[in-house]
Amino acid sequence: MGHTGRPAEPDKRTLRRELLTVRDRLPEDDVRASATELAGRALELPELAGAGTVAAYVSVGSEPGTLALLDALRARGVRVLLPALLPDNDLDWGAYAGRGSLARVQHGGKMALFEPAGERLGPDAVTEADVVLLPGLAVDARGMRLGRGGGSYDRVLARLESAGARPALVVLLYDSEVVERVPEEPHDRPVHAVVTPSGVRRFG
């Protein structure tokens, strides 16, 4: 019987639920303070120091906050690309032009997302990024990332691979979300680094 990667799913679902429950209990002040710390840590990354284009995302709710980092990158003259969710769960991209350039978009029953209001650059725009900041719920000791399960970033990673693009892949998390092991499937790829409020951890 070949390994199809199916058995990982229930484990992933349970782990996602547990991690999201912990996140949802975080006081707003902690979420805010963490966002400032995360920005400071991430800005020390040599990959970000030399980046001309960074693909990122706008955090929502109790996700580790990204806006302070997006503003700091933009102030450095970095071109920041933000995703816009397409009906098939793939991602289109647009340039970040400050907080006033974000539109709150409700996608069906899912949570509302903040997306770039300006021109759409197409799904392939991500292949121009020097660094891709990936949302996630956990990263393990090998650098394997547990995503939210929508599959959007699996497509992004596949697109980067087929284009021969080799950006640095970085995940922003809370300290407690760096775990011993997350369930993985054959197509999963490790990230290069995880940034938490207390520091940066790199993977070979």
Residue numbers in the known binding site for ATP are 12-16, 145-153
Instruction: Encode 83-149 in three state secondary structure.
Output: EEECCCCCEEEEECCCHHHEEEECCCCCCCEEEECCCCCCHHHHHHCCEEEECCCEEECCCCEECCC
The residues, ordered by sequence, that sit 6+ positions from 92 with a Cβ below 8 Å of its Cβ are 83, 84, 86, 120, 121, 122, 123, 125
Binding positions are 12-16, 58, 63, 145-153
Secondary structure letter of residue 155 according to DSSP:
H
Q: Which residues are annotated as a binding site for substrate?
A: 58, 63
